[in-house]
Amino acid sequence: MDIDTLEDLAKELKNDENENVLALFEEYAKTNNMKEEELEQILSKKYDCFKCESCNKFYCYDEYSYFDEECIYCCDTDAEEEEEY
């Protein structure tokens, strides 16, 4: 798998078939001498690629909740748990 540009990286991170996207992300940051925070910001601002803090996967804007800093799937799980009270 060749990742030359941030666009490639964003595409790979959002690809469901990739199992360890977090490793890809960390490796790219290391290779390009960037802070992970910095890389995360660029990806979210320019490449429609958002990191979920709960499941450590990457999603496009439609599948990500800014407010919760989680993907909508993690948010859904939280909501369901609350309903059980």
Q: Which is nearer to Zn ion, 21 or 52 (CB)?
A: 52
Alpha carbon distance 62, 34 (integer Å): 26
CB of 63 to Zn ion, least distance (A): 9
Q: Which is nearer to Zn ion, 5 or 53 (CB)?
A: 53
Alpha carbon distance 80, 85 (integer Å): 10
CB of 2 to Zn ion, least distance (A): 27
User: Of 55, 65, 68, 77, which lies in the binding site for Zn ion, with binding defined by CB under 5 A?
Assistant: 55
CA 36 to mean position of chain CA atoms: 12
Q: What is the contact mask toward Zn ion in residues 15 to 54, using x (rule: CB under 5 A)?
A: -------------------------------------x-x
**Phi and psi angles of residue 22, each rounded to the nearest 5 degrees, phi first:** -65, -40
Specify the DSSP class assigned to residue 55. T
Instruction: Give the DSSP H/E element, type plus range, for residue 15.
Output: none
- Give the interface with Zn ion as residue ranges (CB under 5 A): 52, 54-55, 71, 74
